[in-house]
Amino acid sequence: MDIVMGPVLFNWPAETWRDFWFRIADEAPVARAVIGEVVCSKRAPLYFDHLVEVIERLQAGGKRVALATLAEVMSDVDRRTVAQVVELAELVEIEINDISALAHLEGHAFAVGPYVNVYNERTLSYLARKGAKRFALPPEIPADSLEILTAAARELGALTEVHAFGRAPLALSARCYHARAHGRTKDSCQYVCDEDPDGMEVKTLDGREFLAINGIQTLSYGCVDLSTVIDELRRMGVGALRISPHSVDMVRVARIFADAAAGDISGAEAHAKLKESGLPLPAINGFFHHRAGHEWVA
């Protein structure tokens, strides 16, 4: 199985974002890197000045590069942002996260991101006929459904990815709760989300950790870790493990998953190493086991 570095979901400073991808290009054992802004079109221009040099550095490092589109398209600015990304389809692979991007991709092969609701074989088949060659499946899909979809994708000449590490993306909103929590509106947010490089944690009224907020996006509080089920994913025929960038040593995280995927270390060893080097958050894998997503099944 390949290791894929997913897009940076959070509002990191442009230089931090650039340097992160430079290090991934030079040091991380990943086969594919997905870059671009997924969450908020207001953030996208912050990275434009570094986009070409990041793509070139990743390609020079032997990585396949994909550009991701926005996961929620609500305004003219959002539509223009998607159109600008898809214009680069001749140069790099495009990963769509909203169906509206299909209007720009006639005749082009593309990848499908985890924000498109591919929950059954008919949806998968429809997108494959449109040109989809790989599917990063939504993180809430349990093992039995994942196996069915992986088999269906293989029959269509496509492969599947699973979200194997990082806070799970759960939902998107038309409004920005991150801004609202700081007494601001979405239009005058002043990019307050940059204060939380791994998302803003949300607690219940009785003080229990519950979710995390990233602009308009809702994420899990805990960190998904599927390292203990890599053997099962390999048996299913899953093509790639996607790890989501956070403000920890992601090169080390990538190496742990690469070693586990190659069979050099066991899933239990990988899980132990991730606990030492990953986010200071509880590990979760409930969705995979058909349980509540925030649970950990040993």
Query: How confident is the model over 133-139, as a mean pLDDT?
Result: 97
At residue 158, the 3 state secondary structure works out as: coil
Q: Distance from CA of residue 79 to its chain's centroid?
A: 21
Closest CA to 226 of 166, 137, 175, 155: 166
**Residue 101 pLDDT:** 93
* 142 vs 124: CA distance, rounded Å: 16
| pLDDT value for 279 | 78
- Give the Cα separation of 44 and 154 in Å (integer): 34
Tens digits of residue pLDDT in 48-106: 889 999 999 999 999 999 999 999 999 999 999 999 888 887 788 999 999 999 988 88
Contacts of 35 (CB under 8 A, 6+ apart): 7, 8, 21, 51, 54, 55, 58, 65, 66, 67, 68
Helices (H) and strands (E) in the chain, counts: 9, 12
Please give the C-alpha separations between residue 93 and each of 46, 58, 71, 86, in angstroms, as whole numbers.
Answer: 21, 13, 16, 9
d(CA 130, CA 100): 13
Task: Convert 192-214 to b/e letters by CB count within 10 Å (16 or more is b).
Answer: bbbebbbbbeeeeeeeeeebbbb
- Polymer length in residues for the chain: 298
pLDDT at 209 over 80: yes
Residue 90's pLDDT is 79
Q: What are phi and psi of 212, to 5 degrees?
A: -135, 145
Residue the block writes with tokens 């308009």: 216
Tokens of 245: 């960038």
Query: Domain 2-169+220-284 carries which CATH code?
Result: 3.20.20.110
Long-range contacts at 126-134 (CB < 8 A, ≥ 24 apart): 128/153, 128/156, 128/157, 128/158, 130/102, 130/105, 131/105, 131/107, 132/158, 133/109, 133/157, 133/158, 133/159, 134/158, 134/159, 134/160, 134/161, 134/239, 134/240
pLDDT value of position 43: 93
Q: What is the reported pLDDT for 95? A: 97
Rounded to the nearest integer, the mean pLDDT of the chain is 95
Side chain identity at 148, as an amino acid letter? I
Looking only at the bridges linking them, the beta strands covering 283-284 and 217-225 are: parallel
The larger pLDDT score, comparing residue 46 to residue 135, is at 135
For 105, the token pair is: 């991709």
Encoded tokens for 272: 């132990």
Percent of the chain scored above 90 by pLDDT?
A: 88
DSSP assignment of 11-45: ---HHHHHHHHHHHHHH---SEEEES--S-TTTHH
Query: What is the pLDDT at residue 264?
Result: 97
pLDDT value at position 146?
98
Per-residue confidence band for 152, with pLDDT thresholds at 50, 70 and 90: very high
Cα-based distances in Å from 285 to 95, 166, 213, 240: 25, 11, 19, 17
> Of all helices (H) and strands (E), which one includes residue 128?
helix 121-130
Residue spans of the domains in the chain: they are 2-169+220-284
